[in-house]
Structure 1
Amino acid sequence: MSIIYVLIPIAMIFVAIAVAVFFWAVKSEQFDDLDRQGSSILFEEDESQNSNGKNDKPHD
């Protein structure tokens, strides 16, 4: 039963750290654009495209 006197303050410290990290992430604008990072993987441009947007390979 005496272990609870140790575990409760430790749990409160962990919660305080988690809240502090969350507010730091919100303050540093980590959550402003959630869709850009997810769609950047799906719509990555092909590296073989030149400056006018056409592929160097001919189409059949």
Structure 2
Amino acid sequence: MEALYLLIPIAVGVMVIVVVAFIYSVKSGQYDDLEGPAHRILMDDDDPRIPGRQVKQPEKKAAVNPSEEKNG
């Protein structure tokens, strides 16, 4: 029982150190996407799946009667 008085504060202290180290590594950019920019350069510029890209939708043509297409 006396060992728990020592082990629990040590475990909490180690946990705090690990959490602080993890937060520091996330904020410093350790987990940023390193392969994304290399693959993104190979993608087509008008691909709508690329974040931040807005693709212009083609304008819809007015409905044309099929018989008018053949004559004109």
Query: What is the TM-score with the length of structure 1 in the denominator?
Result: 0.55
Q: Gapped runs of 5+ residues in structure 1? A: 37-60
CA displacement at 1:5 relative to structure 2: 0.4
Q: Which has the larger radius of gyration?
A: 2
Listed as ranges, the matches of 1:6-25 within 5 Å are 6-25=6-25
Output the amino acid matched with 1:2: E
CA displacement at 1:35 relative to structure 2: 3.9
Structure 1 vs Structure 2: percent identity of aligned residues? 47
Tell me the distance in 2 between the aligned counterparts of 1:34 and 1:3: 45
Aligned residues: 36
1:33 is paired with a residue of what secondary structure? Answer: coil
RMSD of aligned residue pairs (Cα, Å): 1.5
Q: Cα 1:14–1:34, aligned 2, differ >3 Å: closer, same or farther?
A: farther
Deviant stretches of 4+, over 2 Å: none
Listed as ranges, the matches of 1:1-60 within 5 Å are 1-33=1-33, 35=35
